[in-house]
Amino acid sequence: MTTPPTPAPLERRRAPGPGAVPGGRSTAAPARLIVVGSGITGLYAALLAADSGAEVVLLSKGRLRESNTWYAQGGISAVLDGPAPGDTVAAHIADTLRAGAGHCNEEAVRLMCTEGRRDIVGLQRFGVHFDAADGGPALGLEAAHSAPRILHAGGDATGAKVAAALIRSVLDRQSDGILTVRTFAHATSLLQHNGRVTGVEFLQDGNRATVHGDAVLLATGGAGQLFAQTTNPTVATADGLALAVRAGAAPTDLEFFQFHPTCLVSTPPSGRAAAPGLDQAPLLISEAVRGEGAVLVDGNGKRFMRAYHPDAELAPRDVVSRSIALHLAKLGDPNGHVYLDARVIESIKGPGFLARRFPTLTQRTLGAGIDWTRELVPVAPAAHYWMGGVATDLHGRTTVPGLYAAGEVACTGAQGANRLASNSLLEGLVFGRRAVEDFLAGSPTGPSAPDAWETDTVPEPFERSVTEPAPFSRDGLRQLMTAKAGVLRDGVLLSEAGETLDRWAAVVRPERVPAGGDVREHEDRNLLLAAQLLVAAAQERIESLGAHYRSDSPADAAGISDGFEETSRMRLKASLVHD
Ligand code: FAD
Ligand code: SIN
């Protein structure tokens, strides 16, 4: 196998660019930062670092646009200088803490909500334009927000618009020779010297290559591919978490995986076929649609959310997802789906509103054979966002010197046990920037003091004794995780999941990096390792909290009305392996 040389050093001592971080590193030779991932976190951090004079190498495992970020619809929450009447940063903080079910790191939330406006300006500097109304930014409302504060772009195409602008800026800097981009560069492990991360090994065109630097920022996003139904694209395979854990970094809060309540169930109604040639990626129906007034109904046409939570369809996301699951179980159809009724929006706001406000969703639902101005949209919960991840402090530092993590791969504690809508893009911006600031300040990138860390004990995934090997497949893993560690869990399901995962692990050995150059094999091991860690963490937390809902623990702890305890205590055979 050939090993391409480390990229040539970039031009040194440049004047700071427009996105420069104030007070950046002033050493004669710029330090080199390796950024892994090209979602909002990696792109924004790479731009800030490059404009501040650092050498930046940006690796991404596919094309630059392949990320969760690209698919983000609803937008970015932020309280700006001209907020909606009555809205304040304090209200945004309070909403985030409430949605997070009392499990947030309050300082992380405070930083995210107060500093976010700065990064919105930062995005605009890199060419991002948000939708406007009445001379100011148009502000959307989403579930569990007490005021409209969601900035969006292209109506429901926020992620694509933001990412496209950042990618343009990154490519401009590559043309100017101040940033190196490597696409289809799949990071497979972290290089270490004397306990410090000093680079990344990656696969490109089937070849193994390495890049060395002063620090690595993991911005590899999430892991929706752990589950059979997910809103996430195929790149979301828990790579960053697996790389970090193998390098000795502590993960935390892995039991908290958020399921978005309204992902289109692909079977079109009335047996109609989807239009040919359309993107078959999962279609999330943005919470912003419920923010505009859409409601959920069951197969009998009955609106059911009010019976589960006083805020009905605008209750926190974890509550809505598990209410759907519990309601379906109660109706005897645990693997079924419910319907989103968006017709009510047009009846209030007039014909054409849906197409104007949600152009992408209008086109994609039509492509799936559904005219949502006249028909109900079949929806069910799908794996969406991992609150847990690589533990970091408020500067993106992990427990391993030289290794930063930010965005969905990281866990600052800002999202608690259940993320508030549209706070993820915001977190990626704020903590991606804070990591770059720390790097530029020449920090040793290690924990300042051991007691500064409040992380879970790293679950030991390989301790159970294993007997017979069983065949592993990615599909099998995804089905298992959905059925036994999904929206509704209990001790029995989790222990069954753990045993199967361990049997697979005894054969697949996910704690090791595969020797070969097959990217899928690397992803499979990463998924298996992440699944083991998630299930171990879920077994350890015996009470329900936020998105971690155990039907063998009291229901009132999970934000659902007492009247449904009976349903919640039902032993659920399977959770939402919907058709
Ligand atoms: P990502 O955007 O996922 O980027 C990760 C990057 O890392 C990708 O480029 C990927 O290819 C790369 N990568 C992964 N592994 C490797 C590897 N081994 N080697 C090299 N590169 C690698 N959040 C909001 O705040 N508002 C919304 O409106 C919103 N809507 C959403 C809608 C959908 C359909 C989805 C799926 C998510 C949505 N979210 C939303 C969540 C949000 O989009 C993500 O949490 C956020 O974009 C994560 O950003 P990130 O930069 O951390 O990771
Ligand atoms: C959505 O638009 O519903 C997704 C928003 C989010 O994940 O924050």
Residue 570 in this model has a pLDDT that exceeds 60: no
The mean per-residue pLDDT over the stretch 232-250 comes to 98
Location of structure tokens 């169930």: 265
Beta strands in 54-212 (DSSP E): 55-59, 76-77, 132-133, 136-137, 139-140, 150-151, 180-182, 185-193, 196-204, 207-212
The mean per-residue pLDDT over the stretch 127-146 comes to 94
Question: Which atom of ligand 1 sits closest to the CA of residue 60?
Answer: 21
| Ligand closest in space to the Cα of 429 | 1
> Contact 429/119 with Cβ under 8 angstroms?
yes
Location of structure tokens 């959920």: 296
209 and 269 in a single domain? The answer is: no
287 and 251 in a single domain? The answer is: no
pLDDT for the residue numbered 470: 62
pLDDT for the residue numbered 82: 85
78 and 223 in a single domain? The answer is: yes
Residue 28 in this model has a pLDDT that exceeds 70: no
Residue 9 lies in a domain: no
318 and 171 in a single domain? The answer is: no
pLDDT for the residue numbered 269: 45
> Contact 58/217 with Cβ under 8 angstroms?
no
222 and 116 in a single domain? The answer is: yes
36 and 156 in a single domain? The answer is: yes
Residue 457 in this model has a pLDDT that exceeds 80: no
Residue 10 lies in a domain: no
Which of 73, 130, 201, 220 for a ligand 1 pocket mutation test, highest count of atoms within 8 Å of Cβ? 220
506 and 422 in a single domain? The answer is: no
Percentage of the chain exceeding pLDDT 90: 80
> Contact 206/2 with Cβ under 8 angstroms?
no
96 and 155 in a single domain? The answer is: yes
Does ligand 1 lie within 6 Å of residue 220's CB atom?
A: yes
**Strand, coil or helix: 529:** helix
pLDDT for the residue numbered 553: 86
What's the pLDDT tens digit per position in 463-483? 444 445 469 999 999 999 999
On the 0-12 / 13-18 / 19+ scale of CB atoms within 10 A, 450 is exposed
What's the pLDDT tens digit per position in 319-331? 999 999 999 999 9
Q: Whole-angstrom Cα distance, residue 451 to residue 469? A: 40
Report pTM.
0.90
The helices-and-strands tally (H runs, E runs) of the chain is: 16, 20
Residue 17 lies in a domain: no
CATH code at position 351: 3.90.700.10
pLDDT for the residue numbered 367: 94
Examine the fold and report which residue of 339, 358, 382 is the final residue of a domain before the chain moves on: 382
203 and 301 in a single domain? The answer is: no
The mean per-residue pLDDT over the stretch 51-77 comes to 97
- The whole domain housing 376 covers 261-382
Residue 4 lies in a domain: no
pLDDT for the residue numbered 282: 85
Residue 423 lies in a domain: yes
307 and 375 in a single domain? The answer is: yes
pLDDT for the residue numbered 444: 61
Residue 571 in this model has a pLDDT that exceeds 50: no
What's the pLDDT tens digit per position in 373-413? 999 999 999 999 999 999 999 999 999 999 999 999 999 99
Residue 16 lies in a domain: no
Residue 453 lies in a domain: no
pLDDT for the residue numbered 510: 97
| Ligand closest in space to the Cα of 187 | 1
Q: Whole-angstrom Cα distance, residue 148 to residue 80? A: 11
Does ligand 1 lie within 6 Å of residue 69's CB atom?
A: yes
The mean per-residue pLDDT over the stretch 512-535 comes to 97
The mean per-residue pLDDT over the stretch 41-64 comes to 98
Examine the fold and report which residue of 363, 382, 401 is the final residue of a domain before the chain moves on: 382
The residue whose CA has the least distance to atom 1 of ligand 2 is: 286
CATH code at position 77: 3.50.50.60
Cα 91 to middle of ligand 1, angstroms: 26
What's the pLDDT tens digit per position in 154-193? 999 999 999 999 999 999 999 999 999 999 999 999 999 9
Residues taking part in catalysis? 317
Helix (H) / strand (E) containing 403: strand 403-405
Does ligand 1 lie within 6 Å of residue 41's CB atom?
A: yes
pLDDT for the residue numbered 280: 53
Cα 260 to middle of ligand 2, angstroms: 8
Taking all residues of the chain, what is their mean pLDDT, rounded to a whole number?
A: 88
> Contact 334/567 with Cβ under 8 angstroms?
no
Which of 296, 422, 423 for a ligand 2 pocket mutation test, highest count of atoms within 8 Å of Cβ? 422
185 and 282 in a single domain? The answer is: no
Confidence of residue 78 (pLDDT cuts 50, 70, 90): very high
Ligand 2 cavity residues, CB under 6 Å: 73-74, 286-288, 421-422, 424
Cα 75 to middle of ligand 2, angstroms: 7
| Ligand closest in space to the Cα of 420 | 2
51 and 165 in a single domain? The answer is: yes
Domain count, the chain: 3
pLDDT for the residue numbered 29: 64
